[in-house]
Structure 1
Amino acid sequence: MRSLIGFPAVVNEKAARAVAGQVVVVTALALATGWLWLSAVLAVGFALRVASGPRFDPFGQLATKVLAPRLGAPVVVAGPPKRFAQGVGFVFTAGATAALALGAPVVAVGLLAVLLVFASLEAVVGFCAGCFVFGYLMRWGVVPEETCAACNDISLRRREVQPA
């Protein structure tokens, strides 16, 4: 029986980009309308994805079950860098939510604007800034190599992507 908590070892890059696209839409909506409370919705989604991948997250479910299958064959990438990136997204959205609660909407807008830029890079051109930073953290020894065997061994990335 599969554990309810835990991130997949490998993920479909197309699904990750589809999730990022949804984050872009909601973040842009929050910034355009002033509905900064949407940062709390985004934070919950990031927290769910960090804890269990796409399993319980509506964005993750839509991406893995509906959007990514329509984009062609899966492109398999290592899971740990994507989990780290989701964690960074959580920090930004939780920070925006806290700033809003503390009466600092300008800080919330700034954090959401940064999120919008990096989520757009992931969704549109496939550049995952969190994954980029994760790679450096591994090289510097901050993240142990055993955390992501697939990051160092390309043959491990060729496994089938497990459905969420």
Structure 2
Amino acid sequence: MNRPPRGIALVAALIITLLIGIIAMAIGKTAIRSQQTANSQYDQARSEAIAKSAMLRAEALFRSTVADNIDAIYADDTDSISTDLDTDASWWRDSSNWASNTTSFSALSEGAPQFRIEEREFVPTSADVEEQQGRQYFRVTSRGEGPGGAHTLLQSYFVVSTTRQTTE
């Protein structure tokens, strides 16, 4: 009678243990990858929500300012809510620009909504160069930062029908 070689059970047990270990590592890597993806999506969604919140706050501020003191929408007013148009097209990349020319709500700790209103061009109602009635454009840029560092920037334009501001 042939007997199986001694120690075959040990070798079989080691092979099965190795296979179970490989499967467990693959499942672990998949779980970690899924968690990283979920964290990234949460971070992006959070930054978008903060930027949208900032845009809504800017719109509310703009509307109330137009209703209460329309002169305060212009950059040259002492109580202005806007800034002059920035000539640097990538001003938004420098965080110091947000600190100096933004409305921020520090009561909200993490990723406080920030926005910046820039005064843009005045467009006369008619083609007459001397026309004083027209539309004043403003660009609003809002910024949101998620807890993981994701950034979202949104831009919108506000328009007011008004009389041309005279520079003295």
**TM-score > 0.5 by shorter chain:** no
Question: Whose Rg is larger?
Answer: 2
TM class by shorter-chain length? 0.3 to 0.5
Relative contact order (alpha carbons < 8 A, sep ≥ 6): 1 or 2 greater? Answer: 1
TM-score normalised by L of structure 2: 0.32
